[in-house]
């Protein structure tokens, strides 16, 4: 489920409205084919943000593939000279200018499906007992993997947006060093803030992450409503 629907993120809603993005192939759009073209996905997200923007400050927080979506959506918005987010929150994703994720998936494919659970999470016994239910549950996750494998990073000027980078200290998908490489793409690089846990650390214990995210949001507020240049 989208991270912002987790009970631990409810404290954000006292001052911010959380708006999880339901992409095609999941949630209320589960009957629609999932997007596997990353460029089309980023463009659709940017168009949605630009249309829904009512002038209030807003922020992006993306976990894993969501982090890449947040970053690239912000770059699409900049190209369109739209208002940029007040904060870009990045979680559990290797910096996209590297080939780290594609290499990881390649190793996982060679090792077998179980190796990929470090990215997708463990498969429940209920799903293992029902192949059709398993297929339905994993279709959007596999679509995300395909989109990430097809992604190719394009060089652009550093993004002029305040950023906060988070990760799990035992994450085999995005190490501390790989998280730090986001600094090469951002005008205001930050040291990654690590929390106990693996790739799914934020689901297990969201409260400390929310606290850090809210601190970053408060620090970013004086520079909100940044226009693209």
What's 94's domain CATH number? 3.40.50.1820
Residue 228 maps to a domain: no
Q: How many domains does the chain have?
A: 1
Residue 122 maps to a domain: yes
Q: How many CA atoms lie within 13 A of 154 on its CB side?
A: 8
Residues 6 or more apart whose CB falls under 8 angstroms from that of 89 comprise 59, 60, 61, 62, 70, 163, 164, 166, 213, 216
Residue 172 maps to a domain: yes
Average pLDDT over residues 63-79: 95
Residue 173 maps to a domain: yes
pLDDT tens, residue by residue, 135-194: 887 788 888 888 988 999 999 999 999 999 999 999 988 999 999 999 999 988 889 999
Residue 116 maps to a domain: yes
Tokens of 157: 């000027």
pTM of the predicted protein model: 0.85
Residue 136 maps to a domain: yes
Query: Domain residues for 131?
Result: 3-221
Whether residue 2 has pLDDT greater than 60: no
Residue 38 maps to a domain: yes
Q: Are strands 59-63 and 163-168 parallel, antiparallel or unpaired?
A: unpaired
pLDDT tens, residue by residue, 128-144: 788 888 888 778 888 88
């Amino acid at each position: 489920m989208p991270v912002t629907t987790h009970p631990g993120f409810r404290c954000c809603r006292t001052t911010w409205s959380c708006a999880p993005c339901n992409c095609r192939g999941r949630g209320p759009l589960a009957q629609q084919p999932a997007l596997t073209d990353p460029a089309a996905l980023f463009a659709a997200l940017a168009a949605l943000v630009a249309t829904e923007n009512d002038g209030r400050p807003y922020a992006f927080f993306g976990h894993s593939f969501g982090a890449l979506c947040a970053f690239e959506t912000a770059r699409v918005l900049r190209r369109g000279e739209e208002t940029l987010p007040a904060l870009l929150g990045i979680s559990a994703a290797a910096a996209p200018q590297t080939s780290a994720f594609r290499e990881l998936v390649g190793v996982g494919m060679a090792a077998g499906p179980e190796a990929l659970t470090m990215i997708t999470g463990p498969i429940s016994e209920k799903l293992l007992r029902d192949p059709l239910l398993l297929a339905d549950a994993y279709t959007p996750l596999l679509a995300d993997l395909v989109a990430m494998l097809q992604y190719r990073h394009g060089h652009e000027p550093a993004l002029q947006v305040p950023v906060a980078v988070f990760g799990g200290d035992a994450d085999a998908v995005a190490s501390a060093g790989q998280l730090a490489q986001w600094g090469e793409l951002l005008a205001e690089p930050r040291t990654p803030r690590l929390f106990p846990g693996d790739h799914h650390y934020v689901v297990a214990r969201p409260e400390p992450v929310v606290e850090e995210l809210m601190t970053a949001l408060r620090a970013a507020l004086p520079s909100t409503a940044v226009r693209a240049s």
